[in-house]
A and B are shown apart, each in its own frame.
Chain A
Amino acid sequence: MSAVKFTRKQFESFVSALIQSGRPVMAPQAKNGRYAFGPLAAAEEFRLDYDVTILPPKKYLLPQTETLLTYQVGGACSSVRDAEPMILLGVHPYDMVAINQMDELFRQDQYDKHYMDRRCRTTIIALDVVTPSENVFAASMGTATVKSGYDILLTVLPDGSILADAATDKGQELLDPAESTPAAEADLKARKTVWDKNEKALNKHVLECKPSYLPKLLENAYDHPVWEEKARLCYSCGSCNQVCPTCYCFDVQDQVSWDLKTGERKRCWDGCLLENFATVAGNHNFRKDRAARYRHRLYRKGKYVPGKIGGQIACVGCGRCITACTAKIANPVEVYNRLMEDTELG
């Protein structure tokens, strides 16, 4: 595995070659004044300087809606496995960490073949952040930089050239045919300055404790007034779930055809903030209260999910929920800091 350096021009040729390779290349592009991952038609559409995308790239691994299986009403069913190879280009470190967490979650317990099929066929080219977004706090969560999960890591160096570091054979094979120069010691040093800078700059909201404290912090916070105070203004709109790179809950529904003989089973994104997320058979809703649902999300991020993936905190500090919440109450840092002020750490 080796690192190479691209000039801007060489980099565009590299991206053009990716597009011509025939696999869809999904990359951040401008969208109505914000950015969104979408199929890349031309190299110059790819925005190396994007701050954050409206939705995280998880939409390609766990699509908003997907068909799991087709069935005969009252009869046989067959699983739909339609994953195609794809390249995710320009994944920021915090989103890469989120994908790494999802990989762990979807592999464990019942192996989710729909997610894993897609993940295994996906090549990920990560990109160190160039422009911090207005609400990012990745530095507080230890996700301003990333060390694993990607096939290639790109870093825009202070002189404008682009360092590309292959981490897997898949990544190396993409770099090999491209015109570039081998990275020198000085380039790796320059990259380190970018990392150091990002460790400070990606911190628009400062968490007052180490993220690893959060599970303990939450142990004694179940009845804290903050949940009610915040949730009073909650619309239960689930925006904070939808835009979150680590939210992975889904709902499964059957859709039957007009002859009422065959059908499709689909899954689509769900969210724990939605009123009927916890409604089960018999119309019993075991999380009826807005505050209980609001609390649940922050417990998921800070305690429950970490319990499943070796203590990793399931908030990567992308700041998307802060921007997306129309009621302006979703900021996890505000809540955790508030708990820090008031809760005795046992």
Chain B
Amino acid sequence: MTKPRVAIFDFACCEGCQLQIVNLEEEILDLIGAVDVVEWREAMSEQSHEYDIAIIEGSITRPEDEKRLQIIRSRAKLLIALGACATIGGVNKLKNNFDLKEVRQCVYGKDADMPHLNTAMTKAVDEVVQVDAYIHGCPIDRKEFGLVIRALLLGKKPPIPDYPVCVECKAKENVCRYEYGEICLGPIIRAGCGARCPSNGFRCFGCRGYVDNPNVEAAREVMDKYGLTVEDLKQKMVLFGSKQEHTL
């Protein structure tokens, strides 16, 4: 059996998620034992147009990126979105809250009108092409990366949770942030990170995106019970939840 060929591509992102793959340490040898990595700018100089699995990191922020992504999609049998930038648009979607002209001026000053600095509304990968599997988080969880890749190699459905962070948070026996009078996005955000933030004394700020069917209406009303407002909640959501399907 020939090993599946994997290519890793990055778009608009900090490359932190690729770094997580590099940081797999011993496991990276296992990964390379299981697949043939044929293109990976961060770790090797070769390039290839022949691959079975494309892993996409980053969000899509320019028209020319959309074209590049479509070409990758047409070559790959399987396309995986890697990290929050790719799965939900991530922090880059903050931009979508403002006028694009203003955004360019703010970032590039007097060069704002240069054609190569053109920018468009930020899109998650699945707003441009079909995505077969998602590896969520900012950054991704290394263990989960391994689980998803192995499941896909076996032709199985990747074990991505569709339940909220609270499940993992409770399993770790954390004191709920709401008991401290704080807002936590855990009840509407997809688990899989092991409730990383609440377990370290912070609220969940939503980097893994919403569960498939978040009860957003409840979130609005529940805020009342804590003497908080939906505006308080929206503020917490803006970092990762801007202009998503279920936006509050």
Name A's B-contacting residues (CB within 8 A).
Answer: 31-34, 36, 54-55, 59, 64, 73, 232-239, 242-243, 253, 255-260, 268-269, 271, 274-276, 290, 323-324, 326-328
Contacts and interface: CB of A to CB of B under 8 A. Distances in A.
27 contacts: A32-B175, A33-B175, A54-B173, A54-B175, A55-B170, A55-B173, A64-B171, A235-B214, A236-B163, A237-B167, A237-B186, A238-B166, A239-B166, A239-B170, A242-B167, A242-B170, A256-B151, A257-B150, A258-B30, A258-B31, A258-B33, A258-B34, A259-B33, A260-B150, A323-B179, A324-B170, A328-B222
A235 B218 contact: yes
Nearest to A277: B163
Contact of B215 (A55, A234, A239): A234
Given A54-B173, A236-B211, A327-B187, 16 more contacts: A34-B179, A55-B173, A232-B218, A233-B215, A233-B218, A233-B221, A234-B215, A235-B164, A235-B214, A235-B219, A237-B163, A237-B164, A238-B164, A258-B30, A276-B162, A276-B163
Contact of A238 (B153, B163, B215): B163
A234 B178 CA distance: 16
Contact of B150 (A55, A236, A256): A256
Interface in B143-187: 146-147, 150-151, 153-154, 159, 162-164, 166-167, 170-171, 173-176, 178-179, 184, 186-187
Contacts of A232: 217-218
A122 to B, nearest CB: 19
Instruction: Name the residue among B154, B166, B170, B188 with the largest chain A CB count within 10 angstroms.
Output: B170
B225 interface: yes
B212 interface: yes
Nearest to A54: B173
Contacts of B184: 326
B200 to A, nearest CB: 12
- The 9 A-B residue pairs with the shortest CB-CB distance, nearest first, are A258-B30, A242-B170, A235-B187, A237-B166, A233-B218, A64-B171, A237-B164, A32-B175, A274-B163
Contacts of A236: 163-164, 211, 213, 215
A260 B1 CA distance: 13
Interface residues of B, number: 40
B162 A275 contact: yes
Instruction: Name the residue among A33, A275, A326 with the largest chain B CB count within 10 angstroms.
Output: A326
Nearest to B212: A275
Contacts of A243: 170
Contacts of B163: 236-238, 274-276
B27 A234 contact: no
Contacts of A59: 173
Contact of B171 (A235, A257, A269): A269
A54 B174 CA distance: 8
A219 to B, nearest CB: 29
Contacts of A269: 167, 171
A76 to B, nearest CB: 18
A327 B218 contact: yes
Nearest to B175: A32
Contacts of B219: 235
B164 A233 contact: no
A326 B167 contact: no
A291 B149 CA distance: 36
A233 B222 contact: yes
A237 B176 CA distance: 13
B166 A328 contact: no
Interface string B17-44: 0000000000100110110000000000
Contacts of A256: 150-151, 154
Contact of B27 (A237, A238, A258): A258
Instruction: Name the residue among B30, B146, B188, B222 with the largest chain A CB count within 10 angstroms.
Output: B222
A191 B178 CA distance: 38
B167 A238 contact: yes
Contact of B173 (A31, A33, A233, A237): A31
A324 B166 CA distance: 10
B247 to A, nearest CB: 17
Given A271-B167, A290-B215, A328-B222, A34 B150 contact: no
A38 B235 CA distance: 36
A207 to B, nearest CB: 23
Contacts of B178: 326
Interface in B112-128: none
A34 B34 contact: no
Instruction: Name the residue among B27, B173, B175, B217 with the largest chain A CB count within 10 angstroms.
Output: B173
Contacts of A235: 164, 166, 187-188, 214-215, 218-219, 222
Contacts of B171: 64, 242, 268-269
Contacts of A259: 30, 33-34
Instruction: Name the residue among A32, A73, A235, A260 with the largest chain B CB count within 10 angstroms.
Output: A235
Contacts of B147: 255
A243 B166 CA distance: 11
Nearest to A59: B173
Contacts of A327: 187, 218, 222, 225
Contacts of A55: 170, 173
